[in-house]
Amino acid sequence: MSQDLNYLKETPSQTAGPYVHIGLAPGAAGFDIYRQELGWDICGPNAKGERIRIEGVVIDGTGSPIKDVLLEAWQANAAGIYSHPEGGGDVEEGFRGWGRVITDFETGEWGFDTVKPGATRGRNVGMQAPHINLWIVARGINVGLNTRIYFDDEMDANAADPVLNLIEWERRRATLIAKRTDRDGQIVYRFDVRMQSEDETVFFDI
Amino acid sequence: MSKPAEFYQRDRERHPPALTPGYKTSVARSPRYALISLQNSVSEVTGPVFGHADIDPIDNDLLSNYAQPDQSPIGERIIIHGRVLDENARPVPNTLVEIWQANAGGRYRHKKDTYLAPIDPNFGGCGRTMTDENGYYYFRTVKPGAYPWRNLVNNWRPAHIHLSIFGSGFAQRLITQLYFEGDPLIHKCPIVNTIPDPDAIAQLIARLDLNATIPLDTIAYKFDIVLRGRRSTLFENRLEGN
Ligand SMILES: [Fe+2]
């Protein structure tokens, strides 16, 4: 026997289940209860930088879109600052950098409007390319999945990004790069998530 | 600027694996490749900050937050209370806790729920609150009913409340479920049994807490939540102790 370290243990995760909307997006479940739902406005009206939209679907192992997913985004502002005491500085009034969206019950499509984030400090050396952290929960997902959205018009920054470079298989890095398109003057990035298949999205243990 | 102090590595042995064939939906919704392990950067040690302006005081009272004036939902009146702590046993103050649940008959107020138990006109089924400076939180609600679900044809969910907790960094983000002491359905549930460690399952079972009941009014269950702990400071090549 030896001394006890006396750390507590993290509470185990359980699936968000099919009715996650009741708790986190009750309007989508079909009722109005709160003065305001949280997470629909990521960046507020005063955020500087390029206004963008990001859209996608989450595809299951059978190749079908998952229609009961909830996704949360976490990002820096255009200057690379997070809205947090350790975020590196001040952000624009109304910028939270956090968003919450659900997939459409019929199509599985999700999308959110934000500003394109700036580069952020890397852990050890250099800078991280502009990216958005994404957290995905749904019925059938036992522990929320973490991934990152990068941008295909940031080739040089992506090539130097310490997290992308940690992925041993270069072709898998492409699963994290959103594709930029111009839709009648609106910039839309496409980011589909694949749970399985040879193009399975890279998920992180963060 | 020093490197961000990391959260302790998540102990995956305490959590369910992604692929748990007993819970059938997980089979097509689980990654096949291994997760790529990342040391935390600023992107993971930070996370959204919420304030009291984001929510209303009534949001934590499911007995009244959807009820008609002078009415209440049907069911056993309960208090769920406890603290949000980290693995260092430090309180996690001012963090957002959100819950959702079925009504006393086991029916969710959700357009996709078709179970034959009735909707309760006085029960919404969701609540939210911020922990206080000591990490303490509480909700008032009714005890949810068990309900059937399609997995095997005769699977029943034990009475449970879903919880979502933030913490101070995005790496602490957690969704889980709370069960009630003494429920014989707990250990028959394929979703509970995605967790391989019996000690970890026990951590999800709220204890009856007679000291916190309101006599002649509301019974209480205590449920503490533990989020990942964090190193105090990380110096080059050396860990500063906690
Ligand atoms: Fe449930």
pTM (predicted TM-score): 0.96
Q: Read off the pLDDT of residues B103-131 as tens digits, 9 standing for 90 and up.
A: 999 999 998 889 999 999 999 999 999 99
**CA A200/CA A183 separation, integer angstroms:** 27
Q: Which residues of A touch B39 (CB under 8 A)?
A: 123
Using the mean position of ligand 1's atoms as its centre, give its distance from the Cα of residue A201 in Å: 28
**CA A99/CA A75 separation, integer angstroms:** 9
**CA A178/CA A201 separation, integer angstroms:** 12
CB distance B98 to B59 below 8 Å: no
Among the listed residues B32, B172, B110, B221, the one whose alpha carbon sits nearest the alpha carbon of residue A13: B172
Using the mean position of ligand 1's atoms as its centre, give its distance from the Cα of residue B234 in Å: 40
**pLDDT, position B234:** 53
- Chain A residues 93-152 within an 8 A CB cutoff of chain B: 96-98, 105, 120-124, 128, 131, 133, 135, 137-145, 148
**CA B149/CA A32 separation, integer angstroms:** 26
CA distance B166 to chain A (A): 11
Q: Which residues of B touch A204 (CB under 8 A)?
A: 35-38
> pLDDT below 50 — which residues of chain B?
1, 238-242
Q: Read off the pLDDT of residues B83-105 as tens digits, 9 standing for 90 and up.
A: 999 999 999 999 999 999 999 99
Among the listed residues A88, A16, A13, A73, the one whose alpha carbon sits nearest the alpha carbon of residue B228: A13
Residues 6+ apart with CB under 8 A from B114: none
Q: Is residue B219 less than 8 Å (CB to CB) from chain A?
A: no
Percentage, residues of chain A above pLDDT 70? 100
**CA A38/CA A110 separation, integer angstroms:** 16
CB distance B164 to B122 below 8 Å: no
Q: What type of residue sits at position B15?
A: H
Mean pLDDT score, A106-124 = 95
Mean pLDDT score, A86-112 = 96
Most B CBs within 10 A among A6, A20, A22, hence the mutation to make, goes to A22
Residues 6+ apart with CB under 8 A from B238: none
**CA A173/CA A154 separation, integer angstroms:** 13
**pLDDT, position B242:** 37
Residue B198 CB coordination number (10 Å): 9
Q: Read off the pLDDT of residues B137-154 as tens digits, 9 standing for 90 and up.
A: 999 999 999 999 999 999
The confidence band for A125, taking pLDDT boundaries of 50, 70 and 90, is confident
**pLDDT, position B2:** 58
- Chain A residues 152-181 within an 8 A CB cutoff of chain B: 162-163, 166-167, 172
Mean pLDDT score, A4-19 = 96
**CA A79/CA A187 separation, integer angstroms:** 19
3-state secondary structure of A22: helix
Interface contact flag, B4 A123, Cβ < 8 Å: yes
CB distance A60 to B31 below 8 Å: no
Active-site residue, selected from the candidate residues B77, B83, B128, B157: B157
**pLDDT, position B240:** 44
Of B29, B173, B177, the CB nearest to A14: B177
The confidence band for A29, taking pLDDT boundaries of 50, 70 and 90, is confident
Interface contact flag, A137 B98, Cβ < 8 Å: no
Active-site residue, selected from the candidate residues B108, B138, B179, B221: B108
3-state secondary structure of B52: helix
Percentage, residues of chain A above pLDDT 90? 94
Using the mean position of ligand 1's atoms as its centre, give its distance from the Cα of residue B158 in Å: 9
Q: Which residues of B touch A76 (CB under 8 A)?
A: 43
Residue in chain B closest to A39 (alpha carbons) equals B48
Residue list, CB under 5 A from ion ligand 1: A 17
Q: What type of residue sits at position B81?
A: H
